[in-house]
Amino acid sequence: MMRDVLVIGGGPAGIAAAETLLSLGKNVTVVDSAPFAGGVPLELSCKGDIECTRCHVCMPRDAAARIRPSECLEVVPMASIQSVAIEGDVIKVNAKISPRYVKPDACIGCGKCAAACPVVGALVAPPHGSIPNAPYVNRELCAHFTSKKCNECAKVCPTQAFNFKERSKESRTEARAVIVATGLEPIDPSAVQHYGYGLYPDVVTSLDAERIISKYGELRKPSDGQKPKKLAIIQCVGSRTTKGGVEYCSKFCCKYGLRIARALVERSPDSQVDFLYMDLRTFEPRADALSWIGDKKNFMISQGVAAKVQMSAAGKLAIKRTTQGDASIEEGEYDMAVLSIGGQPRPETKVLAAHLSLPQDGFGFISADDAKRRIFVAGSCKGPMDIEESFSDGQAVGARAAACLGVRQ
Amino acid sequence: MSGNKVCIILSDCQSCSGLSNEDMNRMLGALKGGAKAAHALIVKAPCIKESRKEIRTLHIEGCDRAVVGMWCHPEKIGALNWLPKKMSPSLIEVVDLSIFAAKSTKCSSQVDKYVRVLHASAAGLAHAEALKDRKIPFASKSVVVIGSNDRAKDAAKSLASKGIHAKLISMEPMPGVNAENLEVIDGATTEGLKGIPGDFRIAYSRKGQRKETDAASILLVSERCLSKAVPPKDSKVKVVPLEQFRNYSAGGAKVKGMAFLDDLQTLTTAADPVTPAWHTLLEAAKTAAANHMADYISVIARDVKAAGLLEMLWKEAADAGVKFIRYDDKSRPKISKEDSTISVKDLVLGESLDIPADVIVAPITTRPWEPMFIERLFLPSDWDLKSRLRGPQRGTAQSPCDGIFMVGYAGFNKLLDIAEPELDSAVAQISAFMQKGCHVARGAVAVIEEGKCSACLTCVRTCPYRAAIMNESWKAEIIADKCAGCGNCVAVCPSLAIELKNCTRPQIGAQVAASTEVVQ
C-alpha cells in the first residue's frame, strides 16, 4: 500500500512525528526495530514522587496511547531495514520482520499467558503505552523452542493468538516521504575501565538503576538486594571523554541524573546521595533545577567527577575525587555507584544514512536532511537530545514533511 | 428515540465477565423486556473472528443505532472495526462494563446493574442524536501570537502564510512587519484572558487605552526584557553586546584582556545567569582567540552549557587558547575599580583570580516574564494553567489546555537551538487545531432528583469524570460542566434518583470549557 510518510524509528521523535502527521491528515507507517514501539523511555522509570519533576518519560507513552493503529496508521515492530530504493517520487523500503509468535490483531491483552508462562522473561508483556499492546515471545528463553514443547501460553489464550510456526517475513512499504528517527543507544561504560563497571556488581549504569527502580519501586544493590546507605551518582560517564566513550556532551544526563537523585533523596531520607558533575547543563534555571534540595542534609552536589572507583578493604566502593573549592583529593566509601551514561548513534543509523545517501558527521550523527528528495531526519539521530526536545523536534519535522507533501488530491 | 430501532449487543466473554449462561439469559430477558431497547442480543466473544463476522452480517440489520456492552477494554479489541461499516461511529455507543465487573462470586447480583448501564447508554445515545448541533463552531477565526522577539514575529508570519488570520501582540515596537493576514498590535501589554477555546477574548492596553481582541487559539512565545549592556559605574571597562561582536571585531583593535561573560547581570545581581546563545558566545570567543584580538581571552561562566554537539565548539575554543573559568554562585565575579580586571573565585580550585578584561563581551539576555505573564493574564481560576504547566501534560509546544500553546521562553529559558523546532511544531499544531474549526460536545447530562437521593455516595465514587459531588444540603449533585453523559451513575444509583437529560446550549458551552481540564 502506498503511504504518505514512512517513519523509521518509533521512539519519542518517531511517535511525535506520526501523531503530528495523523493530525494533519496524512497516513503513516512506523517501522521500529524493538518489539514495542515507544523507544528508550519505555525502559525508564517515572521520577516524580511527591510532585511531577518533568522527566518527560511519560510523554511519548501518552502520545503512543493517543494514537492507535488504524487505517491511517500502521506500526511495524521488530523490523530491520534491508534496502531502500528511490524511484522518482516514490521511496520503496524493504524490511525484514522477525517473528513475534503472537498475533497482535487477535490478542486482547488479558494477560493470562503471562501468568501461565513457566520461564521468567520468555514472554514479555507490553509496557504501558506501547504499540502494539500485545506480548512477544523471546525465542532464546521460551521453553517451546529451548527444550520440550511447552505450550502453556497457547493453551490458556482465549483468542488463539499464539502462532509458534511464524517465520520471519519481508515487508515492502512504498511512501512519498521518509522520516528517519532512529535515535540513540546507550553507551556501554565497560570501556571506561577506571570506574569498574562489570567488575564490581554495585557499580551500575543509570539505565540499570532505572530498571531496578521500575522493578522494585526503590533502588537496591545488585550484590545483596539491600538498599544502599551511601550512593554516588557520577555524571559524564562515556561522554565528554576521549577514553572509552564519545567526545561530545550527551546533553540529557544532567537532566535525568538530577531527577534520579531527587527521587532517591526524597524517597529515602536516611540514605546519603552524592552527585558528582562536570558542568550542570540543565536548561531550566539552575536555581529551579536545585530548588528541591532546600535544607536536605542527605544530598551533596559537587563539581568535579570521580577519578577512580576501587574496592576498599571493607568491601565497599572507594571513590577518589577532588573536592569542590579547595582542590584537595578525597577518597570516600560508598555502597553503590550510579554511572550516568550518555548516548551514541545506533549502528543502524549509519547503514540507513548510507542507503539514503545522507551526510554524516564524524560521530555518526546525520548532519542534514534532504527536503528535496522528501527525506527528513528527526530527533536524536542528528545530535544528542533529551526526551522532551526530540519529541518536539519530531513534531516539527512531522509538520515540515506534511507541508512538503502538500494537500492530497 | 421515537421509532428508531436501537440494538443492544452484549458480548458473552465469559472468561472476562464471570457471568454464567444463566446470568446471560437473564440479562437478555431483561434487555428484551426493557421498553427502551428494540433488540437485545448476546453475541459470542467478539474477540473471536467468526463471531465478528456473524455480527456484521446478521444481527444489526434493520437497526439505526447500537449500544455495545463489553467486558474488556473496547479499544483493545477494536470494537468499532467489527461493527457494520454503514453505521456511522457516532451512532454506536461502546460501553465498557468492566468497571462494574465483579471479579469473584456475586456475579448475578450485578445483572441489574449491567442492564441499567446499557439502558442508560441507549438513552444517552438517543439524546445525543436528537441534539442536532453537537458541533460548536469556533466563534473566532484568528490566532493571537504574544511575544516581542524575532521568533514571535516568525511564528505570526508563518501562520499568516498558511492563510490563518494572525495577530501579533508585542510589548516592543515592531516596525516593518507586514504581511497578508497579519495584524500587528505593538507597544501593547496584555492584561487579561477570558472565554473558551475557539472563543478567547484577550484584553490589552495600548497607549493608555484598554482594548479587547478575539482569538480562537493563542500562541505564547515570550516577552523580552533586555538586560541593559552598560558596565557598572566607575569602571574603565568597555562592554560590547555579544550581538555586536562582529562589528567590534571588524574594527581590529587589540587589547590586553578580553572576557566573555555568560550574563552581564551576573556582575550586579544574584539572579541566575541566562545565556540563550552559547553557540554564538563560543563562536565569538574562538574567533577572538584565532585572530589574537587580546593577550588573555577568557570565558567566565557559572556553568559552561556547551550541551550536545556544542561541546566540540568548546573544545575548539579551548584549543585556540580561550581560558574557561567557572565562578561560584555565592561569590560572583566583580569588576575592580582600580584597573581593568575582573576578580573571580575559581569554583573548583578555590583560588581568587584577577582576570584582565579591558573589554567585556556579554549577550543581551532574555529574562522570563516579569511580572509572570500567566499571572497577569488572570486566567479563570478553574483553569489553573500555572499548575498544569508544571504537570506532566506540559511538554514544550504542548498545549497546556486546548487552544493555548507555548514555546521557547514561555516555559523556561533554554538554548536557541531548542526553541526553534518547538516553534515549528506549535505552528503545525495550531494549524491542525484551526482546521478542526469546531468543538464536539456530548449531548447528554445526568440530573439528580434531590428528593430521591439517599446520599449513599455511590455516584460520587463511580463517576469517572468526578462530576458527582455532595452539595451543602448533603445531597448528591452532578456538575453539568464535567458530566460527559456516560450513564454510569444512572446505572449504579440504588435509589434510581439519576436520569440522563438533554443538555442546554450553555451547558454544552460549559462542557467545552470543562473539556479543557485534564481528567485526573
- Residues A202, A332, single domain; the answer is yes
pLDDT above 90 for B25 = no
Handedness of CA B411, B414, B416, B420 (dihedral sign): negative
Contact state of B429 with A395 under an 8 Å Cβ cutoff: yes
Distance CA A98, CA A92 (A): 19
Tell me which chain A residues have a C-beta less than 8 angstroms from the C-beta of B367. none
Instruction: List Cα–Cα distances, B87 to A72, B69, B270, in angstroms.
Output: 20, 17, 66
Between A94-108, B213-227, B418-432, B502-516, the lowest mean confidence (pLDDT) is in B502-516
DSSP states along A343-370: EEE-HHHHHHHHHTT--B-TTS-B---B
Residue in B closest to A17 by C-alpha: B425
In A232-305, alpha helices (H)? 253-267, 286-289
- Whether the predicted pLDDT of B366 surpasses 60: no
What is the pLDDT, as a whole number, of residue B313? Answer: 92
Min Cα–Cα distance to chain A from B353, Å: 13
Does the beta carbon of A110 lie under 8 angstroms from any beta carbon of chain B? yes
Question: What domains appear along chain B, each with residue ranges and CATH number?
Answer: 1-130 (3.40.50), 142-225+369-439 (3.50.50.60), 238-362 (3.50.50.60), 441-520 (3.30.70.20)
Q: Which of A389, A397, A404 to mutate to test the interface with B (most CBs of B within 10 A)?
A: A389
Element at B286 (helix H, strand E): helix B278-290
Residue of chain A whose Cα is closest to the Cα of B414: A283
> pLDDT at position B49, please?
56
Choice between B15 and A131, residue whose per-residue pLDDT is larger: A131
Of the candidates A299, A326, A342, which is a domain's last residue? A342
What's the rounded Cα separation, in Å, for the pair A199 and A193?
9
Burial B350-368 (b: 16+ CB within 10 A, else e): eeebebbbbbbbbbbbbbb
pLDDT for residue B124 is more than 80? no
Here the cell at position B73 is: 477494554
Contact criterion met (CB < 8 Å) for B307 and A249 = yes
Strand partners, A204: A338
C-alpha span between B88 and A79 (Å, rounded): 35
Residue B160: φ, ψ to 5°: -65, -35
Residues A223 and A338 in one domain: yes
Instruction: State the complex-level ipTM.
Output: 0.85
Same domain, A111 and A236: no
Shortest distance between the Cα of B423 and any Cα of chain A, in A, equals 8
Walk across the sheet containing B142-147 and list its strands.
Answer: B182-185, B165-169, B142-147, B217-222, B404-406
- Average the pLDDT over each of B51-65, B166-180, B410-424, B506-520 and give the range with the smallest value: B506-520
Q: Does A203 lie in the same domain as A324?
A: yes
Last residue of a domain, one of A342, A366, A393: A342
Q: Indicate which CATH number applies to the domain containing A223.
A: 3.50.50.60
d(CA A83, CA A286) in angstroms, rounded, equals 46
pLDDT at B289: 92
Does residue B104 surpass a pLDDT of 50? no
Residue B115 predicted with pLDDT over 80: no
Cell numbers placing B246: 562582529
Same domain, A308 and A197: yes
A116 touches chain B (CB under 8 A): no
Could you tell me if A174 and A308 lie in one domain? no
Q: What is the mean pLDDT of residues B470-493?
A: 74
Residues A23-82: tens digit of each pLDDT: 888 899 999 999 988 888 888 887 876 666 778 887 888 788 777 677 788 999 999 999
B55 pLDDT above the threshold of 70: no
Last residue of a domain, one of A164, A197, A218: A164
Higher confidence at residue B109 or residue B477? B477
Compare B513 and A370 and report the one with higher pLDDT: A370
Residue A360, domain extent: 2-98+168-183+346-405
Same domain, A63 and A119: no
C-alpha distance from B77 to closest chain A C-alpha (Å): 6
Q: Which residue in B16, B274, B329, B396 has the most chain A C-beta atoms within 10 A of its own C-beta, making it the best mutation to test that interface?
A: B396
Secondary structure element (H or E) that encloses residue A81, with its range: strand A79-87
CATH of the domain at A131: 3.30.70.20
> A297 and A196: one domain?
yes
Separation of alpha carbons B347 and A408, rounded Å? 59
Average pLDDT of chain B is: 72
| More confident call, B382 vs B50 | B50
Q: 3-state class of A74 per DSSP?
A: strand
pTM comes to 0.75
- A103 and A223 co-located in one domain: no
Chain A stretch 213-252, residues whose beta carbon is closer than 8 A to a beta carbon of chain B:
240, 247-251
| pLDDT confidence tier of residue B352, bands split at 50, 70 and 90 | confident
| CB contacts, 8 Å: B98 with chain A | none
- One domain for residues A386 and A365: yes
Q: Are residues B447 and B501 in contact, defined by beta-carbon separation less than 8 angstroms?
A: yes
Sorting pLDDT into bands at 50, 70 and 90, what band is B326?
confident
The residue of chain B nearest to residue A71, with distances taken between CA atoms, is B81
Give mean pLDDT, residues B480-499. 73
Short-list B151, B96, B90, B79, CA closest to B125: B90
The ranges of chain A with pLDDT < 50 are: 409
Residues of A in contact with B416 (CB under 8 A): none
> Does the distance separating the beta carbons of B311 and A248 come in below 8 Å?
yes
Of A207-211, B117-121, B465-469, highest mean pLDDT: A207-211
pLDDT digits (tens, 9 = 90+) for B198-251: 778 888 888 889 999 999 888 877 655 554 555 566 667 888 888 788 888 888
Quick one: pLDDT at residue A121?
A: 83
Three-state SS at B258: strand
Q: Which residue of A has its CA nearest to B325?
A: A279
pLDDT tens sequence across A92-107: 999 999 999 998 878 8
Residues A144 and A199 in one domain: no
Rounded CA-CA distance A139/A255 in Å is 36
Q: Tell me, yes or no, whether A30 and A120 share the same domain.
A: no
Please check the confidence at residue B502 and state whether its pLDDT lies above 80.
no
Q: Which residue among A56, A281, A365 sits closest to B307, beta carbon to beta carbon?
A: A281
- A367 interface with B at CB cutoff 8 Å: no
User: Is A322 an 8 Å CB contact of chain B?
Assistant: yes
Give the residue, A374 or B264, on which the prediction is more confident: A374
| SS3 track for B117-141 | HHHHHHHHHHHHHHCCCCEEECCCC
Residue B494 has pLDDT above 70, yes or no: yes
Residue B99's pLDDT is: 55
Give the count of domains, chain A: 3
Q: Of residues B426 and B318, which shows the higher confidence score?
A: B318
CB–CB contact B390 A396 (8 Å): no
Phi/psi of residue A155, nearest 5 degrees: -65, -40
